[in-house]
């Protein structure tokens, strides 16, 4: 069968330089930082955008969701392009597109231009982010990868932490345009370093699965478009129901193509039969649904509901979003010893508890002192999930499929964020609105309860992840490659170690 054959992983040419592991972690971490930063950096600037452009709730949603939507739908494409044309080469290309789009966003003269720039920025991030994990997986053998991914998770957490603070400080001290201008010198400095310091590597597929890419892109777009448009068009509208039907049809066509027709499938469906792979992907979807949905509401709560400035709001949120910088590297390192499941499960329980406590506290005039402990609890929770879910999904597949695994995981992560913001906005408009501080608070509490519920559902999924012992036993067979004659051989890591 075509979907059981695998082309051999293209190893570096004889005499090629060994991976520069420190540079790989630094540059991959910075790439992840830029991508994660721009998921949330706009959040504290939303009231300023609303005042500057006269933007509607739909416009505000789209400044976040335009980025997340394209990010989610094109991430599998970005991972596949890296496998085919070279991960370093496509990392540099994605970084260049992201940097250019950041400048276009800063120059936007209205919500339409800003949203269009965010679409292009999301396309660059869709290439950039999955390759950060793939570059790390190529540079480190499995037994050392948890620490490196823990650092990656900490830096990703720094993006989430710095986003609201940076957005608030820049919006208050300069203007909202500077939240995008700051990406430009960073990207320009990284481009030559990435070209010189990263080692080139390729995936196991010598040809692009063009049909699969198109089917996946259209299907994911339809599934993501529906919840984004539902608050304005209505869940029963022709537009929303049509988008859902289109998305389901194209995803089904994609799965059928990958199963029986694709010569080099971009997504080997047998990976979903592995508990480590499927539970990690379900966990990350629900975790980001909870995280971005609650962040969308809380950043506005501090300003519109409680009267804080953008900078004050960002600083208050730091108790929540700053935790990954401290906890994620430790969680990643400990996961090498104790496994990923305990941290994924405990982290999502803490996230659900923290956001649920916040939902209980939300009322007009609530003091920050009663909110800080729930924020910290939720922050410790997301810190434990960031590195371990990434480690779980890449460890569940053979090394040559690390790019595919990272692509799927990041696509579902961003798709979860799209659903989270859309559902939170729909609940908010059902129970409240922007008419006054009181009406905002009336809608914010129920929206936060929904976000807490998404985290609780993620904890249920994480509970079914394989234990550390089960994951270790699975390693004995996960790296085998099937030859055309039916025999199986162990694959080797590019540095020569067996994983």
Q: Which two three-digit tokens encode residue 351?
A: 């996230």
Low-confidence ranges of the chain (pLDDT < 70): 1-19, 39-40, 43-44, 51-52, 54-59, 61, 141-147, 149-150, 153-154, 156-165, 167-168, 171-173, 204-208, 231, 262, 264, 266-267, 325, 399-403, 467-499
Per-residue pLDDT at 143: 62
What is each CA distance from 449 to 230, 358, 423, in whole angstroms?
A: 19, 9, 11
Are the C-beta atoms of 219 and 253 separated by less than 8 Å? yes
CA pair distance 162, 432, nearest whole angstrom: 29
Per-residue pLDDT at 3: 37
Q: For the segment 70-115, what is each residue's pLDDT rounded down to a tens digit?
A: 877 777 777 778 777 888 889 899 999 999 999 998 887 777 788 8
Regarding pTM above 0.75, the answer is no
Per-residue pLDDT at 263: 72
Per-residue pLDDT at 349: 93
What is each CA distance from 363 to 179, 301, 420, in whole angstroms?
A: 30, 10, 22
Q: For the segment 247-304, what is each residue's pLDDT rounded down to a tens digit?
A: 899 988 988 887 777 676 766 777 777 777 888 888 888 988 898 888 888 877 887 7
Per-residue pLDDT at 460: 92
């Amino acid at each position: 069968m075509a979907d059981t054959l695998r082309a051999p992983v293209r190893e570096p040419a004889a005499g090629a330089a060994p991976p520069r592991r420190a540079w790989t972690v630094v540059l991959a971490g910075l790439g992840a930082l830029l991508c994660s930063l721009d998921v949330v950096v706009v959040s504290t600037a939303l009231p300023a955008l609303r005042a500057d452009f006269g933007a509607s709730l739909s416009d505000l949603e789209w400044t976040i969701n335009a980025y997340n939507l394209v990010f989610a739908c094109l991430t599998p494409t970005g991972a596949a392009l890296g496998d085919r044309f070279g991960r370093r080469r496509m990392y540099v290309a994605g970084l260049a597109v992201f940097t250019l789009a950041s400048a276009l966003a800063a120059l936007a003269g209205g919500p339409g231009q800003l949203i269009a720039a965010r679409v292009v920025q999301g396309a660059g991030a869709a290439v950039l982010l999955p390759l950060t994990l793939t570059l790390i997986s190529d540079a480190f053998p499995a037994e050392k990868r948890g620490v490196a991914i823990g650092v990656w998770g900490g830096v990703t957490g720094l993006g989430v932490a710095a986003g609201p603070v940076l957005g608030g400080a820049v919006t208050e001290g300069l203007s909202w345009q500077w939240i995008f201008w700051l990406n430009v010198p960073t990207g320009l400095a990284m481009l030559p370093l990435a070209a010189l310091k990263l080692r080139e590597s390729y995936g196991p597929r010598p040809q692009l699965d063009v049909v699969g890419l198109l089917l996946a892109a259209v299907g994911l777009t339809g599934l993501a478009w529906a919840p984004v448009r539902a608050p304005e068009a209505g869940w029963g509208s022709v537009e929303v129901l049509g988008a859902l039907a289109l998305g389901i049809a194209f995803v089904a066509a994609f799965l059928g193509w990958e199963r029986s027709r694709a010569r080099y499938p971009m997504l080997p469906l047998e990976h979903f039969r592995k508990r480590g792979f499927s539970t990690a992907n379900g966990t990350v979807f629900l975790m980001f649904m909870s995280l971005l949905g609650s962040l969308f509401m809380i950043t506005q709560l501090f300003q519109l509901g409680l009267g804080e400035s953008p900078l004050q709001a960002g600083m208050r949120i730091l108790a929540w979003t700053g935790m990954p910088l401290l906890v994620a590297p430790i969680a990643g390192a400990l996961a090498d010893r104790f496994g990923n499941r305990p941290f994924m499960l405990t982290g999502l329980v803490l996230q659900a508890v923290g956001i649920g406590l916040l939902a209980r506290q939300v009322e007009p005039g609530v003091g920050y002192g009663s909110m800080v402990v729930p924020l910290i609890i939720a922050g410790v929770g997301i810190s434990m999930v960031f590195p371990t879910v990434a480690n779980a999904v890449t460890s569940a597949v053979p090394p040559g499929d690390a790019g595919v695994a990272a692509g799927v995981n990041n696509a579902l992560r961003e798709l979860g964020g799209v659903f989270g913001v859309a559902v939170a906005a729909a609940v908010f408009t059902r129970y409240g609105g922007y008419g006054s501080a009181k009406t905002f608070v009336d809608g914010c509490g129920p929206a936060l309860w929904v976000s807490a519920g998404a985290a609780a559902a993620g904890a249920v999924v994480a509970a079914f992840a394989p234990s550390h012992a089960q994951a270790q036993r699975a390693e004995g067979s996960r790296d085998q490659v099937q030859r055309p004659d039916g025999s199986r051989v162990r694959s080797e890591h590019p540095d020569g170690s067996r994983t």
